[in-house]
Amino acid sequence: MNITGEDLILACSAIGAGLAVIAGIGPGIGQGIAAGHAAAAVGRNPGAKGDVMSTMLLGQAVAETTGLYGLLIAMLLLFVKPLV
Amino acid sequence: MNNAILMSSGADDIDFMIHGVFSYELFGQTLWITTSHVCILIVVLLIAALGIAANRTMKHAKEIPEGFQNVLEILVEKLDGVVYGTMGKVAAPKFVNYISTIFIFIFMSNISGLFGLRPPTADYGTTLALGLITFFLIHITQFKNLPLSQIWKDMCSPLPPWLPIWFPINLISEIAVPISLSLRLFANVLSGTVMMALVYGLLSKIALVWPAALHVYFDLFSGAIQTYVFCMLTMTYISQNYETE
């Protein structure tokens, strides 16, 4: 079986894409912490549920950005193939 | 598309890319009208039709609202409430129209995946344009409302104004605002689109009713959250320039 240079780059791009989505671990932990603290806050002060929810969602969406960057890199490696 | 991988998995109808509809020449460049343009056109026509219908309804507004008038009043009141609650009484009247407009546009674009369109916000061109509008709004309001000495002091902020070592780093963080805003919206919607394309492409034999649940999550829930976040961040960035008043 002959492996050309392009095949090698494609295979390594697939591995790189898999490594890039490991970036999802960080936002997962961060969003979990935010949701846990929001639940505790609602438990202490149920009247402020609306404010707590909107603040939590905003913070979670900002924290999610780093994970999405990893996802974008994976997509670029798999579908745009900039290295070939 | 990476045909080698997809063909070997037995599915050749996975399709989430942007396609060209027709091309034209302009100053020696070949430009394409893509599916994103067509989807934006559909969304904009839908919003325009909604606006015309709303105008006709509100011209014959009744004292006790019913039907469509109820929906419109709830929509306007909710959007007003969110904008006034975030931006305060000084800045809100200037921006409530713009924020409501982008809210409706981004929301309609995000949920258009439900109706079989490719969401226009899954094209980086659309979201970068929205992010750049926010960027220019931030800096125009900044130069309008704050004196130049204050802006210079903010740009050198952790250090005193006569020692601008921190200035390049603050400049980079200012430039990162539209990029992160647009990439966040783009990547969220794109990931939903790719997931739905994979479900319909790879599991097409058993994708009968249960993808509806995925549609509710990826299109409705995620789309609504990202719309809210985009508008919320735009409002926070703009209203930072009003705090000294």
**Domain-located, residue B104:** yes
Q: How many helices (H) and strands (E) does chain A have?
A: 3, 0
Residue B224 belongs to some domain of the structure: yes
- The beta-carbon neighbor of B184 closest among A68, A75, A79 is A68
CATH architecture of the domain A26-77 equals Up-down Bundle (1.20)
| CA–CA distance, B217 with A82 (Å, rounded to integer) | 31
What are the distances in angstroms from CA B139 to CA B136, B146, B169, B237?
A: 5, 10, 17, 10
> What is residue B6's predicted lDDT score, i.e. its pLDDT?
46
For residue B1, what pLDDT is reported?
A: 44
| Position A6 pLDDT exceeds 90 | no
Per-residue pLDDT reduced to its tens digit, B107-156:
999 998 888 888 899 889 899 999 999 999 999 998 888 888 888 888 88
At A27-83, the pLDDT tens digits run: 999 999 999 999 999 999 999 988 898 889 888 888 888 899 999 999 889 888 888
Tokens (6 digits) for A59: 């913070």
How many domains are contained in chain B? 1
Give the tens place of pLDDT for each residue, B176-234.
Answer: 999 999 999 999 999 898 888 888 888 878 878 888 888 888 889 889 989 999 998 89
Q: Is residue B5 in a domain?
A: no
Contact B19, B32 (CB under 8 A): no
Tell me what pLDDT residue A43 has.
94
Residue in B81, B80, B231, B229 with CA at minimum distance from that of residue A54:
B229
Percent of chain B clearing pLDDT 70 (strictly above): 93
Which chain A residues contact residue B225 at CB under 8 A? Answer: 57, 61
pLDDT confidence of residue A61:
84
Note whether residue B17 is domain-resident.
no
Q: What are residue B29's DSSP bridge partners?
A: B26
What are the extents of the domains in chain A? 26-77
Q: What is the dihedral of CA A56, B181, B101, B135, to 10 degrees?
A: 130
Kindly determine whether residue A62 and residue B233, on different chains, have CB atoms separated by under 8 Å: yes
pLDDT at B11 over 60: no
Tens-place pLDDT, residues B43-63: 999 999 999 999 988 888 787
Domain, as residue range, for B180 = 37-242
* A2 contacts chain B (CB < 8 A): no
Q: Which of residues 189-208 of B touch A (CB under 8 A)?
A: 190-191, 194
Which chain B residues touch A68 with a CB distance below 8 Å? Answer: 183-184, 187-188, 191
CA of A40 vs chain B CAs: smallest distance (Å) = 22
pLDDT at A16 over 90: yes
ipTM of the complex in this document: 0.81
